Amino acid sequence: MVKIPLGREVGYVDTYSPKLLFPIAREQSRNDLGIALGQLPFTGVDIWNAYELSWLNTKGKPQVACAEFRFPCESVSIVESKSFKLYLNSLNQTVFTDQQALQQQMAEDLSACVGATVEVFIRDVASGNAISQLEGICLDNLDISMTSYAPEPALLTTGEHNTGESLYSHLLRSLCPVTAQPDWASVEICYTGPQINHEGLLKYLIGYRQHQEFHEQCVERIFTDISVRCQPKQLSVKALYTRRGGMDINPFRSNKPIVPDNIRLNRQ
- The total number of residues written for the chain in this structure: 268
Question: Minimal CA–CA distance to 207: which of 127, 146, 268?
Answer: 146
Q: Which amino acid is at 82?
A: K
Residue 236 and residue 190 in contact, taking contact as beta carbons nearer than 8 Å: yes
Contacts for 146 with CB less than 8 Å, ≥ 6 apart: 203, 206
- Nearest CA to 125 out of 79, 187, 69, 63 is that of 63
DSSP lists the bridge partners of residue 45 as 72, 252
Q: What is the SS3 assignment for 122?
A: strand
Which listed residue (46, 66, 73, 183) is catalytic? 183
Strands 77-79 and 247-254: unpaired
Q: Is 14 assigned a catalytic role?
A: no
Q: How far is 53 from 219, CA to CA, in rounded Å?
A: 27
Determine whether 183 is an active site residue. yes
CA–CA distance, 66 with 68 (Å, rounded to integer) = 7
- CA separation for the pair 172, 190 (Å, rounded): 16
Pick the catalytic residue from 113, 176, 218, 230. 176
Q: How far apart are CA 205 and CA 194, in angstroms?
A: 19
Residues tagged active-site: 176, 183
